[in-house]
C-alpha cells in the first residue's frame, strides 16, 4: 500500500478511490460488465477503508457506506422493517480467530447469488422479497413460488421469517448460455443470471431457470424454543423442508482446518460461492453485541486469500465471436493454481488490456477468481506494447474499437465473417440435418477461428488438420477418429435433409420434404424452382416460396452448394407417390405443442406422423385438422386459436386412438 506523507495526501487519495470503486461497482452490479478484476477491486476497497479509519474522513458516497445500489426493477417495492446490513469481511483466518475468541461458531458457504427473505404464515409462503439496496426491497413472491426447492407449504403453522440465497448452478448457467445465440447477450456469471431470473416479471421464465434457494439465517419463528443455538435452528429448518446452506460447527481449535476443508471442496462445487460466513452459535451472545452503522456484530465474512502465481505472458489470442466481438485471451507459461495447471485467462476487453498495460514477454501475476476462473491480477512489467489487431484473425477484414458504457471492445464489422455464422454451421451438423456427431458449437467455433472451416464443404476435409485437432483441448486420437467416422456417415444424405441443413429462412424439415417430393427429389429442379410453382404445393405459402427462391439467387450460396454436392451422395427418399393414400394419416394436417410423453420428443412425433402420410405445420390455421397438446384445457395461444377455428384439440392418447380408428 502506498505510503502517505500527511493527512491531506490521505484525504486526496480517498477522493481518488471513491469514483474509481463506484464506477467499477456500478458496471459489475448494474450493467453486468467487468472493468477491473475482483482482486484489484478488493485491494482498492481495503485501501480506502484503511484510509477512512486512519483519517476519520468518510464521504457520503463512499462504497464503504453504501449498503447496495438503487433498485431499478419494475417489481413492487416496499421497505424492510429494519435495514439489511452487509457483513464485515477479512481474508485472514487469524482475524476470524480473534473475533471468535472462546465462543463456538457456525461456518458456512457465502453463496454468490441474490439474498431473499421468505415469510410464512399459517404454514404457507405468504411473501418473498429481495435484499434490494438494504433499505428498499422488491416483492418477488410469485417468482419464489417456482424456485426449484422452495416449499410452498410447511408443517410449522406459526409466523416464520428466514433469509437465504437464491443461486443458479454452474451447470444450469452453462446450459442457459448455450441456448443464447448472440454472444453479447450471454450472461457473464451465475450471479448476474440469478439476479435477472429472480426479478423477472413473468415467473414462467424464473421457473425455466431452475433457481435454487439455500437458507442461511432464521430471523423469527413464533413460539419455537431454539435452545439458544444456531445449529438447532438449521436442523429445525431442514425438518420444515428447507435446503440449508452447508455448515460446520467450529471453535478456535479447529477453525483453520475447517476453512481448509471448505477451500478444498469449493473447486468441485456446482454452485457459486465467493467465501465463507461465520456466525456465533450462541444466538443471545451474538445479538447482545448489537451492530455498527454498516455491519451486524454477530457474523463475519471470510473471502478467499487468492493464491497468486507469477508467470510470463507469451501471447494474446484474439478470438472472434458471432456478434463480431473479438475477445482477447492471455496465453502464459503454465502455472499451478488451486491444484490445477492453468495457462490461459480471458482479458475480456480492450479497456482491461489498457489498464493492465500488457505486452508480450511481460511478467504477470495470475489467480483464480473465487478459486475457479483464471484472471490476471497484475502486470509487473507494464511494457504496454501489445498490438491491437487491425484485421480480423478469421476473415482478414478491418477491425474497429467501439466504446459502450465506458468500456472499449474490438469488433469485426464484416457481415460475412465466418465467425458470425457459427450458428449456421451448428444447424448444418444437427441431428435433423447432416447429423454429424462430435461437432458442438464450441468445437465449431474453434475450427472456424483456426481457419479449418470456411464453408460447409470444408467439414468433409477436416482430415487435413488431423494433428492440430488431436492436440486441441478436449480432443485426442479417439475423439478425432469418432468425428471422422461421423463425417463419413454424413456423406450419404437424403435431399430433404440436405436442403434443410442449408439453414434457409423459413424452411423446416417438413417443408423441405414437401418441396423435394414435388420436384421428384431433383436437386437441380429445387435450385431453379419458381415462386409461382412453389405456392401450388399444399402447405407452402408465399413467404416460404420466396425464401427458397431468394436463397438460390445468391451466387455465393450457389457456389457453396456446388462445393458441398461434390462431397455428398444424395440417397433416394422414401417414395410417397401412390402410397400416401394407403397410409393411416393421409390427408391430415397436425400441429404439435407442449411436452410429449409417448415419444422421445416432438421431432420424433413429427417424423412418425409424416411416415404415416400426415403433415405437420408450426401454426394453427383453418387447414389444420388436429392440434396435439397433452394439456387440452390449456389457455395457450395455440389452444385459443384452435378453439376459435374449430380445430380439434387432442392429447397423445387421443392421437394414438385416432391411429387405431384409421387402421
Alpha-carbon distance of 353 to 346, in angstroms, equals 10
Mean pLDDT of the chain: 84
For range 140-160, the mean pLDDT: 88
Which of 431, 419, 424, 353 has its CA nearest to residue 386?
353
Secondary structure in 3-state letters for 435-490: CCCCCCHHHHHHHHHCCCCCCHHHHHHHHHHHHHHHCCCCCCHHHHHHHHHHHHHH
Q: What is the pLDDT of residue 1?
A: 44
The DSSP-derived string for 563-591 is: HHHTT-EEEPPPP-TTTGGGSTTTT-EEE
For range 464-484, the mean pLDDT: 88
Helix (H) / strand (E) element for 202: namely: none
Q: What is the pLDDT of residue 72?
A: 38
652: phi then psi, degrees, rounded to nearest 5: -60, -40
Q: What is the pLDDT of residue 215?
A: 96
- pLDDT band, residue 59 (cuts 50/70/90): low
For range 354-364, the mean pLDDT: 94
Q: Is the dihedral of CA 600, 603, 607, 610 positive or negative?
A: positive
Alpha-carbon distance of 216 to 278, in angstroms, equals 11
Instruction: Using alpha carbons, list the distances in angstroms from residue 415 to 444, 506, 521.
Output: 18, 21, 33
Instruction: Determine which of 57-61, 217-221, 321-325 has the lowest per-residue pLDDT on average.
Output: 57-61
The torsion angle over the Cα atoms of residues 635, 641, 643 and 644, rounded to 10 degrees, is: 130
Kindly tell me the burial class for residue 308, based on how many C-beta atoms sit within 10 Å of its own C-beta (0-12, 13-18, 19 or more): middle
Q: What is the pLDDT of residue 58?
A: 67
Instruction: Using alpha carbons, list the distances in angstroms from residue 85 to 72, 292, 353, 611.
Output: 19, 9, 35, 63
For range 544-552, the mean pLDDT: 90
> Has residue 625 got a pLDDT over 70?
yes
Neighbouring C-beta atoms of residue 137, cutoff 10 Å:
23
Q: What is the pLDDT of residue 67?
A: 44
| 110 flagged as catalytic | yes
- pTM over the 0.85 mark: no
Phi-psi region of 304 (alpha: psi -120 to 50; beta: other; left: phi over 0): beta
Q: Compare 212 and 307 and report the one with higher pLDDT.
A: 212
**Residue range 566-601, pLDDT digits in tens:** 999 998 755 444 344 456 788 888 989 877 777 767
Q: What is the pLDDT of residue 613?
A: 78
**Given 89, 110, 446, 497, which residue is catalytic?**
110
Q: What percentage of the chain has pLDDT greater than the value 70? A: 90
CB 105 within 8 A of CB 277: no
Instruction: Determine which of 134-138, 296-300, 646-650 has the lowest per-residue pLDDT on average.
Output: 134-138
Instruction: Determine which of 119-133, 464-478, 565-579 has the lowest per-residue pLDDT on average.
Output: 565-579
E runs forming strands in 281-372: 299-302, 309-320, 325-337, 340-346, 363-369
Which of 106, 113, 121, 86 has its CA nearest to residue 220?
121
> How far does Cα 554 stand from its chain's mean position?
36
Alpha-carbon distance of 507 to 361, in angstroms, equals 51
Q: What is the pLDDT of residue 71?
A: 42
DSSP 370: T
> How far does Cα 50 stand from its chain's mean position?
37
Neighbouring C-beta atoms of residue 577, cutoff 10 Å:
8
> Has residue 553 got a pLDDT over 60?
yes
The three-class DSSP label of residue 519 is coil
> How far does Cα 416 stand from its chain's mean position?
27
Q: Compare 504 and 128 and report the one with higher pLDDT.
A: 128
Q: What is the pLDDT of residue 662?
A: 55
**Residue range 367-419, pLDDT digits in tens:** 887 666 788 989 999 999 999 999 998 888 999 998 876 788 899 888 778 77
> Has residue 351 got a pLDDT over 80?
yes
Phi-psi region of 223 (alpha: psi -120 to 50; beta: other; left: phi over 0): left
Secondary structure in 3-state letters for 637-659: HHHHHHHHHCCEEECHHHHHHHH
- pLDDT band, residue 315 (cuts 50/70/90): very high
Instruction: Determine which of 111-120, 501-510, 521-530 has the lowest per-residue pLDDT on average.
Output: 501-510
The DSSP-derived string for 157-183 is: -S-EEEEEEEE--HHHHHHHHHT---G
Phi-psi region of 357 (alpha: psi -120 to 50; beta: other; left: phi over 0): left
Alpha-carbon distance of 241 to 43, in angstroms, equals 40
Alpha-carbon distance of 26 to 41, in angstroms, equals 12
Q: How far apart are the first and last CA of the chain?
A: 84
Q: What is the pLDDT of residue 148?
A: 85
Q: Compare 420 and 166 and report the one with higher pLDDT.
A: 166
Phi-psi region of 338 (alpha: psi -120 to 50; beta: other; left: phi over 0): left
**Residue range 442-453, pLDDT digits in tens:** 888 888 878 898
Alpha-carbon distance of 630 to 649, in angstroms, equals 9
Residue 404 pairs with which residues in a beta bridge?
407
**Residue range 428-438, pLDDT digits in tens:** 998 888 999 88
The torsion angle over the Cα atoms of residues 480, 481, 486 and 487, rounded to 10 degrees, is: 70
The torsion angle over the Cα atoms of residues 580, 586, 589 and 592, rounded to 10 degrees, is: -90
For range 89-110, the mean pLDDT: 92
Q: Compare 509 and 322 and report the one with higher pLDDT.
A: 509
Q: What is the pLDDT of residue 385?
A: 92
**Residue range 71-96, pLDDT digits in tens:** 434 678 888 888 788 888 888 899 99
- pLDDT band, residue 650 (cuts 50/70/90): very high
Amino acid at each position: 500500500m502506498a505510503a502517505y506523507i500527511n493527512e491531506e495526501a490521505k484525504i486526496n487519495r480517498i477522493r481518488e478511490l471513491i469514483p474509481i470503486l463506484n464506477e467499477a461497482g456500478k458496471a459489475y452490479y448494474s450493467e453486468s460488465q467487468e472493468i477491473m478484476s475482483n482482486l484489484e477491486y478488493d485491494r482498492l476497497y481495503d485501501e480506502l477503508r484503511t484510509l477512512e479509519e486512519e483519517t476519520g474522513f468518510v464521504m457520503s458516497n463512499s462504497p464503504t457506506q453504501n449498503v447496495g445500489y438503487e433498485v431499478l426493477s419494475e417489481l413492487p417495492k416496499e421497505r424492510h422493517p429494519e435495514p439489511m446490513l452487509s457483513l464485515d469481511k477479512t481474508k485472514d483466518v487469524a482475524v476470524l480467530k480473534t473475533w471468535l475468541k472462546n465462543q463456538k461458531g457456525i461456518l458456512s458457504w457465502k453463496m454468490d447469488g441474490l439474498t431473499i427473505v421468505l415469510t410464512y404464515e399459517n404454514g404457507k409462503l405468504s411473501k418473498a422479497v429481495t435484499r434490494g439496496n438494504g433499505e428498499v426491497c422488491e416483492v418477488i413472491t410469485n417468482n419464489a413460488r417456482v424456485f426449484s426447492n422452495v416449499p410452498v407449504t410447511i408443517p410449522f403453522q406459526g409466523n416464520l421469517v428466514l433469509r437465504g440465497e437464491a443461486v443458479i448452478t454452474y451447470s444450469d448457467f452453462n446450459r442457459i448460455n448455450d441456448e443464447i445465440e448472440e454472444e453479447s447477450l450471454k450472461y457473464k456469471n451465475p450471479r448476474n443470471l440469478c439476479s435477472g431470473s429472480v426479478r423477472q416479471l413473468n415467473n414462467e421464465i424464473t421457473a425455466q431457470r431452475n433457481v435454487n434457494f439455500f437458507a442461511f439465517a432464521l430471523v423469527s419463528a413464533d413460539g419455537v424454543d431454539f435452545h439458544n443455538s444456531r445449529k438447532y435452528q438449521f436442523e429445525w429448518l431442514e425438518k420444515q423442508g428447507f435446503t440449508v446452506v452447508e455448515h460446520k460447527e467450529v471453535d478456535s481449535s479447529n477453525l483453520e482446518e475447517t476453512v481448509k476443508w471448505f477451500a478444498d471442496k469449493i473447486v468441485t462445487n456446482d454452485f457459486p460461492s465467493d467465501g465463507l460466513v461465520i456466525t456465533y452459535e450462541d444466538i443471545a451472545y451474538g445479538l447482545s453485541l448489537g451492530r455498527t452503522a454498516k455491519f451486524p456484530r454477530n457474523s463475519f465474512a471470510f473471502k478467499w486469500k487468492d493464491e497468486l502465481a507469477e508467470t510470463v505472458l507469451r501471447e494474446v489470442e484474439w478470438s472472434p465471436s458471432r456478434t463480431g466481438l473479438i475477445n482477447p485471451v492471455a496465453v502464459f507459461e503454465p502455472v499451478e493454481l488451486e491444484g490445477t495447471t492453468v495457462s490461459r485467462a480471458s482479458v475480456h476487453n480492450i479497456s482491461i488490456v489498457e489498464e493492465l498495460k500488457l505486452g508480450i514477454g511481460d511478467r504477470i501475476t495470475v489467480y483464480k477468481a473465487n478459486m475457479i476462473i483464471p484472471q490476471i491480477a497484475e502486470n509487473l512489467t507494464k511494457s504496454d506494447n501489445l498490438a491491437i489487431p487491425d484485421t480480423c484473425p478469421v476473415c482478414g477484414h478491418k477491425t474497429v474499437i467501439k466504446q459502450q458504457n465506458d468500456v472499449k471492445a474490438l469488433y469485426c464489422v464484416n457481415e460475412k465473417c465466418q465467425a458470425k455464422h457459427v450458428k449456421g454451421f451448428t444447424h448444418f451438423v444437427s441431428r435433423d440435418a447432416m447429423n454429424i456427431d462430435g461437432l458442438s458449437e464450441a468445437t465449431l467455433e474453434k475450427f472456424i477461428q483456426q481457419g479449418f472451416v470456411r464453408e460447409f464443404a470444408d467439414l468433409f476435409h477436416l482430415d487435413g488438420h488431423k494433428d492440430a485437432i488431436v492436440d486441441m483441448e478436449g480432443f485426442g486420437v479417439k475423439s478425432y477418429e469418432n468425428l471422422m467416422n461421423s463425417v463419413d456417415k454424413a456423406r450419404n444424405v437424403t435431399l430433404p435433409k440436405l436442403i434443410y441443413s442449408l439453414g434457409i429462412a423459413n424452411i423446416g424439415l417438413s417443408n423441405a420434404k414437401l418441396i423435394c417430393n414435388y420436384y421428384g427429389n431433383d436437386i437441380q429442379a429445387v435450385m431453379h424452382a419458381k415462386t409461382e410453382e412453389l405456392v401450388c404445393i399444399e402447405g407452402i405459402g408465399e413467404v416460404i416460396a420466396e425464401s427458397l427462391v431468394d436463397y438460390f439467387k445468391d451466387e455465393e450460396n450457389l457456389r457453396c452448394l456446388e462445393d458441398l454436392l461434390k462431397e455428398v451422395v444424395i440417397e433416394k427418399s422414401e417414395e410417397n407417390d401412390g402410397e400416401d393414400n394407403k397410409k393411416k394419416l393421409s390427408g391430415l394436417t397436425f400441429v404439435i405443442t407442449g411436452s410429449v410423453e409417448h415419444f422421445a420428443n416432438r421431432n420424433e412425433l413429427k417424423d412418425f406422423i409424416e411416415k404415416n402420410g400426415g403433415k405437420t405445420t408450426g401454426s394453427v390455421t383453418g387447414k389444420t385438422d388436429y392440434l396435439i397438446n397433452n394439456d387440452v384445457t390449456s389457455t395457450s395461444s395455440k389452444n385459443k386459436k384452435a378453439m376459435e377455428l374449430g380445430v380439434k384439440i387432442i392429447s397423445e392418447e387421443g392421437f394414438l386412438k385416432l391411429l387405431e380408428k384409421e387402421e
